[in-house]
Amino acid sequence: MDCGADSAGLKVAGMSNERLIQIERDILYKNNRIASENRARFLADDLLVFNLVSGPGAGKTSLLVRAVSELRRRRPVGVIEGDQQTSNDAYRIRATGAPAIQINTGKACHLDAAMVAQAFHRLPPLSGGILFIENVGNLVCPAGFDLGEACKIVVFSTAEGEDKPLKYPDMFAASSLMLINKIDLAPILEFDLAKTIEYARRINPKIEVLTISARTGDGFAALYAWIREQGAHHRHSVEDAMR
């Protein structure tokens, strides 16, 4: 009920303008709308997009440097780098010959869909290729922000302790793949792989798991096979969308 709204902005004595307005809107609806636009754009370009998330120091950039330099022999690969400050990560990616755009979030602790849309416009065409978005190193905030990616990949290193999935459940719940990096250090750290997987699947029974070492290259062939598989799923959804 609207008791007192008046276009002249006048207040009538004894009548309150106070009223209740129903909204029922998702707090992140604007981000989600831009993410949907990004996703449509990526589909139209037949571009496979992954959102890489992890705590700081899990090895996202090192694994990307290796993966990008190997994957780009066959198809276009680009990277969007998110960090609070510096362009160090973009420089490391560009050294492989692949294009990389750095986003500095300043005070913000995560990338959002609008930042990715802007950065994407500055990349050269990547049709039929792969775009990696390296999110800000933070296992909390990026979990809730859809960027338009095909899926999230959570990177986690053996030095971080087996119970990380229990401590930061939102991120493991939001991710399709858990990449366990620095697996070459597992014997020194007495890292318990089975326990880690058990914890991760308590949070997300469907999460897939691969072990890699960005330093030695161990496990990357399986990662590329997984990416090819995602590409096949992705093409099916492109075909479905066009039908």
Partner 1 sequence: MHEIALCEAIIEIVEEEARWRSFSKVRTVFVEIGALSHVAPEAMKFCFPAVVAGTIADGAALEIVELPGAAWCMACSRSVEIAQRYWACPCCGSYQLQVRAGEEMRVKELEVD
Residue labelled with tokens 């090819």: 228
User: Which residues touch 168 (CB under 8 Å, ≥6 apart)?
Assistant: 55, 139, 140
Bridge partner list, 180: 156, 211
Residue 95-134 contact track with partner 1, rule CB under 8 A, x = bound? -------------xxx-x----------------------
Piece of the chain touching partner 1 by CB under 8 A; list 56-64, 135-143, 177-185, 186-194: 135-143
Residue numbers 1-30 binding partner 1 by CB under 8 A: 5, 7, 9, 16-30
Q: Are 135 and 53 within 8 A, CB to CB?
A: yes
Of residues 41, 72, 94, 201, which one binds partner 1 by CB under 8 A?
A: 201
Residues in contact with partner 1, counted by CB under 8 A, come to a total of 36
**169 touches partner 1 (CB under 8 A):** yes
Q: Are 34 and 118 within 8 A, CB to CB?
A: no
Q: Is the CB of 47 or the CB of 111 nearer to partner 1?
A: 111
* Phi, psi (degrees; rounded to nearest 5) at 106: 65, -115
Compute the distance between CA of residue 221 and CA of residue 88 in angstroms, rounded to an integer.
Answer: 27
Joined tokens for residue 128: 């039929």
Q: Is the CB of 9 or the CB of 14 nearer to partner 1?
A: 9
The residues binding partner 1 (CB under 8 A) are 5, 7, 9, 16-31, 108-110, 112, 140-141, 143-145, 166, 169-170, 173, 201-203, 205
